[in-house]
A = this chain, B = another copy of it.
Amino acid sequence: MAAVVTSPPRGSRAARTRATEDRILSVALESFGTKGFDSVSLDDLAADLGITKQAILYHWSSKRALLDAVIDRAALELIIEFDGALSEEGSGWSRVESIVRRIFRVAMRRPELLGFIREISRIGGDASLRVTADLEPFVSRATTYFEREMDEGRIRRCDSGLLLVSAYSTVLGAATEVEVLRAVGIEPTLRSTVVRRRELLSFLHAAMVAPQALNAQVPR
């Protein structure tokens, strides 16, 4: 209720603008990701930020333009979180394992980020196209990575696009289950998370690893 009175930053004007836009995008991502785009009004956002709605409309010409900016930021943060994992050391399987661990870490620490992506795919239309376009370089890298792993026999050969989408949805489903648990009143424990992650790794191992690659470490 009581607005947070933050003394305006004393840096250069450009820095101040950047800081404000950053704050707006951050709060918008959080709100849109947890409550949904239509459930959050510009007045709600402004109240959370301690500014007026028109301050937001000064930086972006419409609520929809703000959404586009939030999509870009969410995609960027996702790429930052996950892209590094593709470059990591280790054999094919252990790298997959590290990616999954990262996703779970993100799901635990920043559920609104994955929730936002889901929200966008429900809004559909231009929003979906935009997030798809934003993530294309990453998807492309991941596909190339999978193709190479298949070529070298560390992963069973299959449609790599299908594999990616399939892995995405399964992992996202398992990871965002945190939300469902919370909704039902069960605060997710560390143990339940560990159990789920282990089961998921077992699944991915069964689904992805080539049968002849028995030298790969079998989880569980």
Chain A interfacial positions (CB closer than 8 Å to B):
34-36, 38-39, 115, 120-122, 124, 128-129, 132, 158-159, 162, 165-166, 168-174, 176-177, 179-186, 192, 195-196, 199-200, 202-203, 205-207
Query: A interface, by DSSP: helix, strand, loop or mixed?
Result: helix
Task: Give Cα A180–Cα B159 distance, bound, in whole angstroms.
Answer: 18
Q: In the assembled complex, how far is the CB of residue A114 from the closest CB belonging to chain B, in whole angstroms?
A: 11
Which residues of the other chain, B, contact A200 by a CB distance below 8 angstroms? 170
Determine whether the beta carbon of A169 is less than 8 Å from that of B162.
no
How far in angstroms is the closest Cβ of chain B from A124?
5
A180:B168 contact, CB within 8 angstroms: yes
Q: Report 26 cross-chain contacts, Cβ distance below 8 Å, ordered by A residue.
A: A35-B122, A36-B36, A36-B38, A115-B122, A122-B183, A124-B182, A124-B183, A159-B195, A162-B195, A165-B177, A165-B181, A165-B184, A169-B173, A169-B180, A169-B196, A170-B173, A170-B174, A170-B177, A171-B173, A173-B174, A199-B207, A202-B203, A203-B203, A203-B207, A205-B206, A206-B206
Q: Which residues of B contact A120 (CB under 8 A)?
A: 183
- Cross-chain contact A177 with B166 (CB below 8 angstroms): yes
Residues of B within 8 A of A179 (CB): 121-122
Question: A169 to chain B: which residues have CB within 8 Å?
Answer: 173-174, 176-177, 180, 196
